[in-house]
A = this chain, B = another copy of it.
Amino acid sequence: MFDVSDLRFLTALSASPSLAAAARNLGVTPPAVSQRLALLEDRLHLRLIERGRGQLRLTAEGAYLIDRAKGVLDDIESLSEDMSARAGRIDGPLHVIAPFGFGRLRVAPVMTRFGDEHAELRPMLSLREDPVGAMNDGLWDVLVHVGRLPNLRITQRKLAPNRRLLVASADYARRFGLPQRPKEIAAHRVGVVRENRADASLWLLTGPGGIEMNLRVKPVFGCNDGEVLRAWALDGFGIVERSEWSVSSDLRVGRLVRVLPDWSLPDADIVALLNPRGVRSLRIDKFVERLASEISAPPMA
């Protein structure tokens, strides 16, 4: 007769390329995995997994058992969620995906505070360069993104408005001057963020009177963490495009200055997406409410 932890163990195995990788994912040593699997196979008198190099190969029995196990685990999770909802409890896992910079500076603190208030909550934050890719990689409940994601059939709830601005440090401006027209940017050092699969070097600018132009820049520095780019801008590396949330206080105190202030870039609202295939649970709803409430508020620094 199976125990839930046995079923969980097996599904974790089936998601890993090797027993050693499964051990790392489970946070235990390889003998723990090896021995547990062997014990299970011995109890069942069945071979579940063929060991060898390359991807773990499930036997027919192993594949059948794991398929069935997933169904049972889904039922148990669903039941657990039901009972949690009936009690109005906020507990269990909360898987959040967010970009590097925004995730670290704005989402993580919210999760910390939310988690502090709910002892049984298990927050899991995944900072990714490519949040959309991460959606396909595994568990997620909430995805936070800077800018609406195109071509997705998932409702994107707006958490806060957010403009994208061109900025440079005051020091850079003193030493190199600033461009007065978009075309002059070509003579400047430009840095970009590689935050997702979007084309970071194509800037869509809207100028006075509504005229639009696409400007192809040639980045000479870049990073997949937007906050690194901000730091480089502060260090005088050059001109960068950043979200307003990221640079608003720098602009206020003059560390950074606007570049081409008469021209604007497309807004990049902060949005939250809920996994349509995930559970509907109170903790997720409450977390998103909290996120919206705190992110709409002006940043503290």
Contact = CB atoms under 8 A, between A and B. Distances in A.
A83 B80 CA distance: 26
A64 B1 CA distance: 24
Interface residues of A, number: 28
Interface in A34-77: 44-46, 61, 64-65, 68-69, 71-72, 75-77
Interface string A152-173: 0000000000000000000000
A71 B61 contact: no
A76 B72 contact: yes
Majority secondary structure, A binding face: helix
Interface string A65-97: 100110110011101101110111100100000
Contact of A3 (B4, B71, B88): B4
Number of copies: 2
A175 to B, nearest CB: 59
A82 B67 CA distance: 13
B80 A2 contact: yes
A61 B88 CA distance: 12
A79 B86 contact: no
A1 B87 CA distance: 14
A69 B82 CA distance: 12
Contacts of A75: 68, 71-72, 75
B69 A79 contact: yes
B44 A2 contact: no
Contact of A61 (B64, B80, B86): B86
Nearest to A68: B79
Contacts of A92: 1
B1 A86 contact: no
A4, A46, A64, A88: residue with the most chain B Cβ atoms closer than 10 Å: A4
Interface in A75-125: 75-77, 79-80, 82-84, 86-89, 92
B82 A45 contact: no
A77 B25 CA distance: 29
Interface of A: 1-5, 44-46, 61, 64-65, 68-69, 71-72, 75-77, 79-80, 82-84, 86-89, 92
Given A2-B4, A72-B79, 20 more contacts: A1-B76, A1-B92, A2-B79, A2-B80, A3-B3, A3-B5, A44-B87, A44-B89, A45-B89, A46-B87, A61-B83, A61-B87, A64-B82, A65-B79, A68-B75, A68-B82, A69-B79, A72-B75, A72-B76, A75-B75
27 contacts: A1-B4, A1-B76, A1-B77, A2-B4, A2-B79, A2-B80, A3-B3, A3-B4, A3-B5, A4-B4, A44-B83, A44-B84, A44-B87, A45-B87, A45-B89, A61-B86, A61-B87, A64-B86, A65-B79, A65-B83, A68-B75, A68-B82, A69-B79, A72-B72, A72-B75, A72-B76, A75-B75
